[in-house]
A and B are shown apart, each in its own frame.
Chain A
Amino acid sequence: AQKVTQAQTEISVVEKEDVTLDCVYETRDTTYYLFWYKQPPSGELVFLIRRNSFDEQNEISGRYSWNFQKSTSSFNFTITASQVVDSAVYFCALSGGFGGGKLIFGQGTELSVKP
């Protein structure tokens, strides 16, 4: 079965701290895709990154970085020097050949960055 687990329900940090959001996935597909989305308090879902199963290179975009490790079925997201504007719910999601493009979402991690 396809599944995404975000074990951290809520994380609270103080501004400028680094924070890592964990994501563990399960799939039997050899080709699959992993995503992170951000849902700020305003409610919309904002796409952050997509990774395919054949590309294990880490990615960095400004203060954001992602670590994909197939050996541990994890796709973790780190925010460096967090800011109050990073406060949001972050979702990890999985798609693949199993479902015609449907995204399987994790439960989400609510990040609160305090000044």
Chain B
Amino acid sequence: DTAVSQTPKYLVTQMGNDKSIKCEQNLGHDTMYWYKQDSKKFLKIMFSYNNKELIINETVPNRFSPKSPDKAHLNLHINSLELGDSAVYFCASSHGTSGGEETQYFGPGTRLLVL
């Protein structure tokens, strides 16, 4: 009964490749997010979608493109991977965005290693 799931859990790839991470939530939430956790464990938001519409787009390179086919899914596609993209990527979801009062529930994370 996983609430927020991500695939794959681990991703090892070469520089320059293109890769995707998938996220699905079965909580019936309207809003989904992508966060990046760097090697120092610092967590920073990248994107959020509310009902398939982009709400937040932080200063993330254009090589990162989120796609939300429906409100239960938010995928992250990364083009031309660079060494600095190595991190743990977390998907999260919440009921809404409003004023930020909704609790965000996180997936297990995808550990990306770019060689």
Contact = CB atoms under 8 A, between A and B. Distances in A.
Interface string A81-115: 00000000101000111111111010110100000
A99 B98 CA distance: 9
B106 A101 contact: no
Contacts of B108: 43-44
B45 A45 contact: no
Contacts of B100: 32-33, 95-103
A36 to B, nearest CB: 11
B41 A50 contact: no
A45 B99 contact: no
Contact of B105 (A47, A97, A100): A47
A12 interface: no
B14 interface: no
Interface of B: 31, 33, 35, 40-45, 48, 50, 55-56, 58, 88, 90, 92, 94, 96-109, 111
Interface of A: 31-33, 35, 37, 39, 43-47, 50, 52, 89, 91, 95-103, 105, 107-108, 110
Closest 7 CB pairs of A and B: A95-B100, A101-B97, A45-B106, A105-B43, A102-B45, A97-B99, A100-B55
Given A44-B108, A110-B41, 12 more contacts: A31-B99, A35-B103, A45-B109, A47-B104, A47-B105, A47-B106, A98-B100, A100-B55, A101-B31, A101-B100, A102-B58, A103-B104
